[in-house]
Amino acid sequence: ADDSELPPAPPVPPPPSPEEEEARRLTKAVFSMYDAGGTETVDAHHVGDMVRQLGIFPSSADLQNIKLELLEHGGESTLTYERWEGVMSGLILSRRYPRDSEEVLQRAFRAIDTKGEGYLNPESLRKLLTLRGDKLSEDEVEEFMRYAVDSETGRIFYNEYAAAVGP
């Protein structure tokens, strides 16, 4: 056989940049927290919590637009990892929503922790999250609480939480 008749090999894509690798690692870690069965899918109602777990805090209107993009214009009830990784890695890399640093998150929690105890009462924070500012839904608050509340003490140790979700 004459090798000159073979089609040229497709170009090899360049390796991902460190920023792309970090975005993929982060999106995979967050997705895995919600993919309990290892099916590479999660229920669509977790999307808001998942976006916030990435350290991205869009307005309610922007979050709705992100959900529409992730869920094929709202027609899906489950989200695939492939779709999640593609959309959210792109959003992280675009820096449209700068991720809050660990320090910024800690400062925000300290502003709520008026006694300086290093932790928050989940019920007090629940009221704040559902009644003030850019209000979260009960489902969104439940998802946050499942992740943030220490199972042994029933408290939210915000320095640990900020370290876990900060960039």
* pLDDT for the residue numbered 31: 93
Token pair 């000159």 in the structure block, residue: 4
Measured CA distances, 49 to 11, 43, 44, 64, 167 (Å): 39, 11, 10, 12, 16
Q: pLDDT by residue (tens digit) across 109-158?
A: 889 898 999 999 999 888 888 887 777 778 778 878 888 899 999 999 98
Residue scoring higher pLDDT (165 or 139): 139
Which value, to the nearest 10 degrees, does the dihedral of the CA atoms of residues 148, 149, 153, 159 take? 30
Tell me, what amino acid is at 113? D
Backbone angles phi, psi at 43, to 5 degrees: -70, 140
Q: Is the pLDDT at 99 greater than 80, yes or no?
A: no
CA proximity to 162, closest of 46, 23, 8, 52: 52
Residue scoring higher pLDDT (64 or 75): 64
Token pair 């920023």 in the structure block, residue: 19
